Structure 1
Amino acid sequence: MIEEDEDFNIDDPESFYMSDDSLDLVKNGGQEEIKAKKFFTCEKCEKVFHQVGHFRRHLLQHTGEKRYSCPLCDYKSIDAGGLKKHVFNHTGVKPFTCDHCHFSAGTIYHLKRHLMSHTREKPVGCRFCDYRCSQLGDLNKHMLVHTGEKSFVCIECDYTCSRACDLRKHVRTHTGEKPFSCPYCEYRCKRSGHLKSHLVRHSKMYMCNICNYRGLDVSALKGHLQTHGLQD
């Protein structure tokens, strides 16, 4: 059972919620004394925190207050960490790199999610069948197989689907839109998967035969070859 300290104050780290099982016996100089573990419990959702900083940040989710603003767009975040992750979208910086391949990510969360593709870890399972996956989002998509729900409808024809991304792909068959473009040539396509397949051609085209260097274009490769004492 969790009891509320009558003197609890969010700005006072010494005030906290204490549960009956949050007491430890600590030996001090041969004598046992009781030391209390400090828990911070949200009144809205009863989630428990051990650090007051995490507790304060969590409370902002309920108040909707977003103190941190992006200087480049209208994005706002409840904490500095969220803003820092967002800014990577503008700068293109991806500081978290995979030790097994060339993948890099803007957040540690996305790197951890990627690493599961190497370990083949699938901690999330379906309660209706043997399907397992590494992401909760993938499980949510899979569940539509069991429910049969198709809530996304094309306004141009009778096409219906269970995922928004599938509807977007379908709509392009009507509009002819090709939103995915190659940064190295004039190639454009309707699907990101097609662009990824196309980019492989570029990555394999400008490889150094002496080391692992890969250039984005011929001129970059020629410049690199000079480091090996070669002209072309």
Structure 2
Amino acid sequence: GMRPHKCQVCHKAFTQTSHLKRHMMQHSDVKPYSCSVCGRGFAYPSELRAHELKHEKGQENVCVECGLDFPTLAQLKRHLTVHRGPTLYRCTECQKTFQYPSQLQNHMMKHKDIRPYICSECGMEF
């Protein structure tokens, strides 16, 4: 069928504007879905689930704060405590708190409402 909504970054085409908007998140820094284990952010729930499965299988035990790789999830969890502050990291915009700096940084992108892409067809910002 017709796919009139085209991504200006990678040229993938979509049937609906809402699908293009969702797709554009992968080209931006907005990653609203955070891993409960390591704090890494993802643009889509499916990406988060795939990542969490890697933790469960012991394939993905890299610290997002410093890049160290651990043989087990338990060791990664124990290590992550060194990055935790004495208090939680608090968002100055909405007062939500996070355990790790990377989670707060990721969250702050939502408040900035950064829309780096302007559609040449309709002028909408993403």
Q: What is the TM-score with the length of structure 2 in the denominator? A: 0.40
Q: Which has the higher contact order (CA 8 A, sep 6+)?
A: 2
Rg larger for: 1
- Higher strand residue share: 1
Q: What is the TM-score with the length of structure 1 in the denominator? A: 0.25
